[in-house]
Amino acid sequence: MNRLYRHIAIGLLVGVFASCNPTSPSESLRQRLSESPPAGTAAPVVADAGAHTFDMCDAEMSIEITAVVAEDAHAVNISVDELINMKKELDLVTVDVTPPFPRELWLTFLVETKRDLGQTALALRADVYRDKAVVDAFGVAIGGQSKTNRFEYRLNALEGLDPEAKKTVIYAQADLVLLAQDADVDGVDVNAAVAEAEEKGVLLSNPVCINFKDAEGSP
């Protein structure tokens, strides 16, 4: 990941830890979790033989990780706001929870390609952070011969959380590596592939900020 972009992304996360209230609500992305992308809508990777080879910069621009509240986690005492930028990318999810507080609040991390990877295969290993501490991890190999272009991972955001917590922030940070074009994508050991790679990209999901409030809506 470009160093400037990484600093900007980290700066945005620091801002989220300081305040978990978006400036405005926007359209929901939950439909993306229940519907596969329409065929033919992905923007293809432009391949110009002899002029450009698919590299890590292309890889980082070709995949995104989106974190949302799972469809089955929505309830009358759980308010969800999704802040989407001008590029129609999800920047922040803010969740306000009022009593009775649930024992579970499931999030879905959606990994998907934003363009056709062609024969290019990638491996991605992500750590899931809650308040700057790693609480879980997941990995997937995508693209190439398998033609897999989306992957979902679920996490109970409240498991192991201090019951007295008033706020928590959850996000994923992933290492991304290029695989050989003839790699067995479905059988690849993602952890080994990422650990052995000399060059790695970095991806960040949007943060999910969960606020626990009293019946009147105050923290």
Does residue 82 lie in a domain region?
yes
Our count of domains for the chain comes to 1
Q: Got the DSSP string for the chain?
A: --HHHHHHHHHHHHHHHH----SS-B---THHHHSPPPTT-SEEPP--TTT----HHHHHHHEEEEEEE-GGG--TTEEEEEEE-TTS-EEEEEEEE-SSPPS--EEEEEEEESEE-TT-EEEEEEEEEETTEEEEEEEEEEEGGGTB-EEEEEEETTTT--TT-SEEEEEEEEEEEEE-TT--GGG--HHHHHHH-SS-EEEEPPPEEEEE--TTS--
Q: What is the pLDDT at residue 53? A: 80
Contact 69, 92 (CB under 8 A): no
> Which of 90 and 18 is assigned the larger pLDDT?
90
99: CB partners within 8 A, 6+ apart: 77, 214, 215
Does residue 47 lie in a domain region?
no
CA distance 137 to 131: 15
Does residue 11 lie in a domain region?
yes
Most confident of 16-20, 22-26, 207-211: 207-211
Is 166's pLDDT higher than 90? Answer: yes
Is 19's pLDDT higher than 60? Answer: no
Write the CA distances from 44 to 71, 118, 138, 142, integer angstroms.
30, 8, 27, 16
Is 128's pLDDT higher than 50? Answer: yes
Does residue 85 lie in a domain region?
yes
Is 205's pLDDT higher than 70? Answer: yes
Is 5's pLDDT higher than 80? Answer: no
Least confidently predicted of 39-53, 57-71, 183-197: 39-53
pTM of the model as a whole: 0.77
Q: What is the pLDDT at residue 9? A: 55
> Which of 22 and 92 is assigned the larger pLDDT?
92
pLDDT digits (tens, 9 = 90+) for 74-89: 999 999 999 999 989 9
Domain that holds residue 76: 3-23+54-116+128-138+150-172+203-212
Does residue 41 lie in a domain region?
no
Average pLDDT over residues 156-179: 95
Average pLDDT over residues 39-53: 54
pLDDT digits (tens, 9 = 90+) for 153-163: 999 999 999 99
Does residue 33 lie in a domain region?
no
Is 169's pLDDT higher than 90? Answer: yes
Does residue 10 lie in a domain region?
yes
Average pLDDT over residues 57-69: 92
Does residue 75 lie in a domain region?
yes
